[in-house]
Structure 1
Amino acid sequence: MIRPANHPQRVDLNNEAHARPPQELTAPMRISYLALFSDASMRDAQRRHVSELAAACGVAPPGPTAIHFTADMGRFRLKWELHSEFVRYKFIIAGTGDDPFADPPIQLAPPDWVASMVGQIMVATHVALLPFDSHLTDYDEISNRWFAGNPLVGSNIASGAAVALMDFRIREDGFNRLLILDRSLRPRQAGRAVQRLLEIDTYRLMAQLTLPIARQLGGLLDRFERELVAITNALAGTQPISEPDLLDRLTRLAAEIEHAESQNHYRFSAARAYYLLVQRRIRELREERLPAIQTLHEFTELRLAPAMNTCMAAAERQDSLAERVTRATQLLSTRVDITRERQEMAVLESMNQRADLQLRLQQTVEGLSVAAITYYIAGLIGYLAHGVRAMGEPINPGLVVGASIPVVLVLVALGIRRIHHMVHRQAAQHDSAA
């Protein structure tokens, strides 16, 4: 079939809708789940690590750019998913014993391989997916039997198709526990339910990574605000001579705030995104209340919402402080510019006064010059008259000199005036050309 060429990213973008599909799960089943905090620099090492396990189990490894991988490793099934800030592992086996949390699937993986996983554990959970049993309706008994008597959090999920129970406690083995009692879940529906429940816990902790930063930032913002108050108070009554020093303090304060914001901006944005994901995943569960048990929505809102409010308040406070410093800097910069313009006007006025004095001095000097030139020319005329008289001509040199002085004076003055006109004309032509 003849058709236009594909966009280079068409296939990848289309396949993104099918990335990380949920596993088909059928009760009874056990899952060990790990979410390890990591960054982009660890991705290649994490792919190699999974490839090593696949090679040891005789399974084709993930591709060099793969972000998810699912394979039957013989003794267990592995699902591996790579995300921006963490990597997830699910070890899945079918069947359970009397204690669904005994002999977890992760114990079937090579111990050395598990110990050398790349990253730091954020979430570790053992999941038991059991068929619903009418005898398993005493939630106090379930708590005492499998959750060490801890208060349970849970609800009917998928509009009553299953019951999900957990206590959000980390046990001595380093794992949480999640129990799902399957009434009528289809395999893919069960896979989606397990994935959503595990994502809620993962995104909840990833969102809370920002809380220590927000608390630490509070003291720093207090110091910044005190400095800004001190500067603005000084600005209200400062003298022009102190304005450059205040501007320097404001500039350094703005630089410190910008540095703190650049360090924390990503973490605050990530917290907001993770919190929205937690809320979305809880809505997708379609919870229905169990008697006397706190729902997942109530638990997360009661614990997570205050933490997120603290983080968002710190971020908004940081942004507000940056805006206030910017306004103060603009105000002080305007004042410094006005002071500088006044100083420049005073300098120009002083220069004009000096130029006026120089002009008057020049005019005085020019008057003396006219007299001096007239004196010298009159002297030359006197010498000439004496010479003519010595040749026998009957003239009076004194009379000749006296008669020539007015004429010489007028001619010298006109000559200097003409020179002035020529200089001014050339200067005007130069200015117009420029």
Structure 2
Amino acid sequence: MGHALPMPIADHDLRYRLANELHARPFPILSAPCRAVFLAVKQPSDAASRDRDADLAHLTNLLDRYGAAHPQPGATHYSGEIGKHAIKWESHTEFVTYTVFLSGYAQRPFDPADFDVFPKDWLDKAPGVRMTSAMIHVEPRPEDDQIAAKVDDWFVPESLAVSEVLDGEVVIAGDFRIDTAGHSRFSAFVRNDTGERRIGRVVQRLCEIETYKTMSMLGFARVRDLGPRMSGIDAELSELMVQMTSGDDPSEMTLGGLLRVSAELEALSAQSSFRFGATGAYEAIVGQRIEVLREKRFRGRQTFAEFMMRRYDPAMRTVKASERRLEAMADRAIRAGDLLRTRVEVERSAQNQKLLESMDKRADMQLRLQETVEGLSVVAISYYAVSLAGYLLYPLAEVIGLSKGMLLAIVTLPVVVMVWLAIRRIRARME
């Protein structure tokens, strides 16, 4: 027998881990009759960055009560046995889910006692709150008349959805309401020749539809909380736009208001972006999970898809409309701010132009004043220079036979010219 040759290229560190992830969450294998109890737990806030070790520790605590094997450290999914039942645990971005599968019939359909598989004191210590819980009843498919009678007895007719799925192999039903025990209810009636894996897929799909429907409705709740504030900001933004148009208030004051509104809109967008994104993703999963069931109408009843279209889709459209509205308001505030900043810059440019013109006028006045002072300086310096020259030349006046007045008159003009030339030279050197 030949030996395996070594691979000529090294594997990426995550190659096997990523490949195995695609096969890490198999569907349960179930046979009718059976039941399933489902629980989804979420931290009230900031669930995406929660301590996942606490989730794993809570699961381990439950397994210890049944003497079951522990999951691997850091695991995000687990399947195993707890006593006579099977459990499936999954850790998601915002929540964790527990599904316990029980064989056979309960004493009565949707018996609240089935939920006792989760001990009360264990539930009290959960690292979060219940987001949703459900009970699923699976039994062999009886006659259609019997199915109609049972679902009318178990569910609220006004919101009941019933359909044949997977080419008529299964009939599913549910009313998406919370019963007196605090759980949602779903039933599945399966043909005798339906495979165990197919039954498991149907039950898994029902759990996923309920979970992601509930999680996506968090976005609707967020929109309802944001609605009044968004309306208030919209009114403030419209008022600021009127102020921009009328020009009654100073542009700087209006700009300050716009910047404040823009900052608040950015804060709201940042706080809501994750929830809006998660809502869109959850909505897509709900639609996909219903689509793969390949529904057909059962005796004229509304299907799951029709229920979602009437009750669920309007809420999702409201979320999308609010998301678009918030983005449009932010863009509108940014555009208004840009326009107002341009207006402020134009006004400041005009003010700067007037200031420059005023400075030119002052410089011209200073130049004229300087020339005036320069002329006065020539006169003053010449006066003192002539006086000094007079004292110097007085002894010569008698020698040459001139009076002192005549001598000063003769000296004055040359002295003035010399002083003027000296000042001009000094100013020229300074310039």
2:39 counterpart of 1:30: no
Q: In structure 2, do the counterparts of structure 1 residues 416 and 158 end up closer, same or farther at CA, with 3 Å as the change threshold?
A: same
Percent sequence identity is 36
Compared CA separation, residues 148 and 281, structure 1 to 2 (3 A): closer
2:241 to 232, 243, 247: 232
Q: 1:410 aligns with which of 382, 405, 417?
A: 417
C-alpha displacement of 1:180: 1.4
Structure 2 equivalent of residue 94 of structure 1: 103
Q: Deviations over 1:61-104 (max 9, x none)?
A: 22332111111122211111111122100111222257453475
Alpha-carbon distance between aligned partners in 2 of 1:367 and 1:255, rounded to the nearest angstrom: 62
Task: Tell me the equivalent position of 1:342.
Answer: 350
Q: Distance in 2 between matches of 1:17 and 1:295?
A: 30
Contact 1:144 1:150 in 2 (8 A): no
Q: Please give the per-residue CA displacement for 1:107-155, whole angstroms capped at 9, x wherever unaligned.
A: 234442234333222221111222334x354333212454477764121
Across the two proteins, how many residue pairs are aligned to each other? 420
Of the candidates 192, 215, 221, which is equivalent to residue 206 of structure 1? 215
Instruction: Give 1:290-309 correspondences, 5 Å limit.
Output: 290-309=298-317
Residue 235 to residue 110, structure 1, CA distance change in 2 (3 Å): closer
Scaled by the length of structure 2, the TM-score of the pair is 0.89
Contact kept in structure 1, 2:397 and 2:407, CA below 8 Å = no
Distance 2:16 2:418 in 1: 99
Q: Name the SS of the counterpart of 1:72 in structure 2.
A: strand
Residue 165 of structure 1 contacts residue 180 of structure 1 at CA under 8 Å; is this kept in 2?
yes
3-state SS of 2:310 partner = helix
Q: Which runs of 5+ in 1 are unaligned?
A: 425-434
Distance 1:68 1:385, change over 3 A: same
Q: Which piece of structure 1 moves more, 158-167 or 297-306? A: 158-167
Deviation at 1:42, TM superposition (A): 4.7
Alignment of 1:7-46 (within 5 A): 7-38=12-43, 39=47, 40-46=49-55
Distance 1:121 1:110 in 2: 14
Cα deviations by residue, 1:33-61 (Å, 9 ceiling, x for unpaired):
11122223252222111112223333332
Distance 1:115 1:382, change over 3 A: closer
Q: Report matched runs for 1:16-415 at 5 Å.
A: 16-38=21-43, 39=47, 40-96=49-105, 99-102=108-111, 105-133=114-142, 135=143, 137-147=145-155, 152-183=160-191, 184-239=193-248, 242-388=250-396, 393-394=399-400, 396=402, 400-415=407-422
Distance 2:112 2:407 in 1: 140
Deviates more, 1:310-319 or 1:101-110: 101-110
**Counterpart secondary structure, 2:89:** strand
- In structure 2, runs of 5+ residues without a counterpart are 1-5
1:269-307 CA deviation, whole Å, 9 max, x = no partner?
222221111111111111122112211110111100111
User: In 2, distance between residues paired with 1:4 and 1:292?
Assistant: 60
Letter in 2 for 1:407: P
Q: Is it true that 1:419 corresponds to 2:426 in the alignment?
A: yes
Task: Give yes or no for contact 1:27–1:129 (8 Å, CA) kept in 2.
Answer: yes
Q: 1:386 to 1:144 in 2, by over 3 A?
A: closer
User: What CA distance in whole angstroms lies between the structure 2 residues aligned with 1:113 and 1:418?
Assistant: 103
Once the two structures are TM-superposed, the CA of residue 418 in structure 1 deviates from its matched residue by 2.1
Which whole-Å CA distance do the structure 2 matches of 1:418 and 1:51 have between them? 101
Give 1:395 deviation, angstroms.
Answer: 6.0
RMSD: 2.5
Mapped contact 1:31–1:104 kept (Cα < 8 A): no
Distance in structure 2 (CA, Å) of the matches to 1:403 and 1:63: 120
CA distance in 1, matches of 2:366, 2:159: 97
Q: Find the aligned partners of 2:184 and 2:224 in 1 and give their Cα distance.
A: 27
When normalised by structure 1's length, the TM-score is: 0.88
